[in-house]
Amino acid sequence: MKNENSNLAIVAAILFEIILISGVIFNIAIKEWKDLYLYFMTVICIVLPFIIVKLANIKRIVLPSSFQLVSVIFIFLAQYFGEIMQFYSKLWWWDLLLHGAFGCYAVIVGFHLIKETIIKTKEVTQTRFIIFVLIFSFSFSITLGAIWEIVEFLGDYFFKTDMVNGGLEDTITDLLINMLGSFIVCLIYYLRRLKA
């Protein structure tokens, strides 16, 4: 099965890129250099979901049909609103919301990755297979959350950003919220599969 490009994701990406490029032009015009690299980084990041889908198609990896759209929106919310518009400092819950949403969606991506890769055999019971899928998806989500925390640290270290502004407490809270979101989606999946 091939991952299709989402027309809605393409429209959203174009709209977001127009907003970002307008911001770049405006910042250059008023000689405000502080957020310029964040604008450029976000412009590049918005394209990444489309590259990931292209690579997934080459490797025959099936992603959720909403992958591009959710990823583009998430990147825009995190980078543009969070960093550039400073929602992270203006709204105490913004960072937690994004980490929780990421935890939930990363589990869904994990479900797709494992269910398309591993085929249930006759020797494995349905319950064992479901539990294996849950463990993999939960671990996948937690791993991505931990990698993101490392990216935040490296961004602060090399580019003098302020992504880990709360230090250890911020990092652990982000990981716990990611874990909670992941756990909730796994629990819902388990209960739905149990009824089926």
pLDDT, tens digit (0-9, with 9 covering 90-100), for 116-167: 788 777 788 888 889 999 999 999 999 999 999 998 888 888 877 777 777 8
Q: Do the beta carbons of residue 149 and residue 176 sit within 8 Å?
A: no
Which residues lie below 8 Å from residue 39, measured CB to CB, with a gap of 6+? 20, 23, 24, 27, 84
pLDDT-based confidence at residue 38 (cuts at 50, 70, 90)? confident
Average pLDDT of span 15-35: 92
Pure H helices in 59-166: 67-75, 87-90, 94-117, 126-159
Give the domain ranges of the chain: 1-85, 90-196
